[in-house]
Amino acid sequence: MEIIGKFVKTLPEQRGTSQRGDWVRGGFVIETEEQYPKQLAFSLWGEDKVAIVRTMTIGTQLKVFFSPESREFNDKWFTDLRCFRIDVFGAINKTQQVAQPQQQTQSQYQSQYQAPQQANPPASETMEFTAPQEDDDLPF
């Protein structure tokens, strides 16, 4: 499963030793970007995965891939969202400020909006997807 949201906080790490060796478990919380946002807590296992969220900036846009797992203990059910992959879209710096709109003069306005149109706009601005043309005799 996957979900997109912004990074809210890092959860405390837990460390221990088992028969297989040392282990580390960490976690983080994201907030979904819906009409009614939800906060979800994810767990991470392994030093390499826990290290990813240690330095993450609050407000970073994430796509989290996870597997939900539930278990029973004393007639109560507990659900864990185990994260196995994180894709980072972009970070919002705390020092980044919102740019104030600039006052435009009449000549700047005219040059900006009355410039001749480009014959071939750059490929990044056009979003046309066409199927390849094939020559076949099928009626459908």
Query: Is residue 106 a part of any domain in this protein?
Result: no
> What average pLDDT does this structure show over 98-102?
37
| C-alpha angle 59-61-64 in degrees, rounded to nearest 5 | 120
Question: Binning pLDDT at 50, 70 and 90, where does residue 134 land?
Answer: low
- Helix, coil or strand: residue 36: coil
Taking the model in full, what pTM does it have?
A: 0.60
Query: Is residue 132 a part of any domain in this protein?
Result: no
User: Residue with structure tokens 């104030």?
Assistant: 100
Closest residue by Cα to residue 8 from 58, 44, 52, 43: 58
Strands 61-73 and 76-90: antiparallel
CB 63 within 8 A of CB 85: no
Above pLDDT 70, what percent of the chain? 64
Range of the domain at 18: 2-90
pLDDT in the model for residue 54: 86
Query: Is residue 10 a part of any domain in this protein?
Result: yes
pLDDT in the model for residue 42: 94
Query: Is residue 111 a part of any domain in this protein?
Result: no
Domain tally for the chain?
A: 1
Q: What CATH number should be reported for the domain holding residue 66?
A: 2.40.50.140
Closest residue by Cα to residue 28 from 61, 69, 56, 1: 56
Higher pLDDT, residue 140 or 2: 2
Q: What is the pLDDT of residues 42-80, one digit of tens each?
A: 999 988 888 888 888 899 999 999 999 999 999 999 999
pLDDT in the model for residue 91: 58
Is the pLDDT assigned to residue 101 strictly greater than 60? no
Is the pLDDT assigned to residue 121 strictly greater than 70? no
CB 24 within 8 A of CB 54: no
Would you list the DSSP string of 68-127? EEEEEETTEEEEEEEEEEEEEEE---TT--PPPPPP--HHHHHHHHSSPPPSS--TTT--
> What average pLDDT does this structure show over 107-121?
44
Mean pLDDT across the chain, nearest whole number?
75
